[in-house]
Amino acid sequence: MKRPRLYGPGELVALFGVSRQRVLQITRRPGFPEPLARLVGMNVWDADEVDEWARHNRPPRPPADEEEQG
């Protein structure tokens, strides 16, 4: 059986080019894939599911001034 590729929060930061705080917001959006596993201190997602979601739903980056306030 093939093991799934996994993304943790750090991989999502790199994939989306956003902060960890923004990754948390993205992963809470309706329709974002459910975590494959919930580990102590972090979730992990099936990379193929996240890649597919990103192809269709890649969130726009907020304006720079909005990021600074957050």
pLDDT tens, residue by residue, 7-22: 999 999 999 999 999 9
CA separation, residue 55 to residues 16, 49, 66 (Å): 11, 10, 24
Q: Categorize the per-residue pLDDT at 66 as very low, low, confident or very high, splitting at 50, 70 and 90.
A: low
Query: What does the pLDDT read at residue 14?
Result: 94
Query: What does the pLDDT read at residue 45?
Result: 97
Residues 6 or more apart in contact with residue 15 via CB below 8 angstroms:
7, 50, 54
